[in-house]
Amino acid sequence: MCDPVMGTMAVLSVVQAQQQQEAQMAQAQATNDAFVQNQALQNEAYTKDMEMYWDEEVNIQKQAYQNAEDAVEAKLDMMIHKQEQTASLQMANYEAVGGGKSPDRQLGLLRRQLANETQDLDQQYQRGVRALKGESKKLQHDKVGRRNSAMGSINSMQRDPGLSGTQRQMGVFVAGVGGAASGYGRYKKPGGKA
């Protein structure tokens, strides 16, 4: 025979357990929605950063080509200047009455001066190449760091699996049994009917 107090207590306990379970499931869903939103925002930010890094890499390559073109143009200008100066000094040497010693000395000085300028140009170009390689390495290092940061931000937030169907059924069953036992305890108390 089922006592109305036991039945009522069991039903109330089951309803309360179901409400708690629904609240837990809503909390789990909110956590999972936040996880998905965080993941989407992190992926979007990472994509934008990679676009910026790509643009920077393209700029470095353009600068490397521009530096090479500038160095070639400067060498050509020096070679043209050398040819003009050499031709001018040779003409002065041919025209000199006294054996042309002065223009020969000037030709030697010109050769040394142009050799020094060529060496300076080459050293300047190589410094530019090393600087661009350093920028490229730094950019690669930054890309790896940004990737790790994005992965860490995504993985730092955990999904909430909520309650499984079995856990929900067991929770309701335990609440029902607990409520019935509570009602049975009240039924057996002194002053109650036995």
Rounded to whole angstroms, the Cα distance separating 13 from 15 reads 6
Q: For residue 149, what are its two tokens? A: 């940061």
Which whole-number Å values give the CA distances from 163 to 12, 125, 170, 175, in the listed order? 21, 66, 11, 15
What residues of the chain score a pLDDT lower than 70? Answer: 1-7, 9-10, 95-104, 162-163, 168, 170, 172-173, 175-194
Residue 185: predicted pLDDT: 61
| 22: amino acid identity, one letter | E
Residue 194: predicted pLDDT: 44
Residue 158: predicted pLDDT: 74
Rounded to whole angstroms, the Cα distance separating 41 from 47 reads 10
Tell me the three state secondary structure of residue 46: helix
Close Cβ partners of 158 (under 8 Å, ≥ 6 residues apart): 31, 35
Do 13 and 183 contact (CB within 8 A), yes or no? no
Q: Where are the domains of the chain?
A: 4-188
Q: For residue 172, what are its two tokens? A: 């309701």
Name the one residue in this structure whose structure tokens are 């009522």.
8
Length of the chain: 194
**How much is the pTM?**
0.57
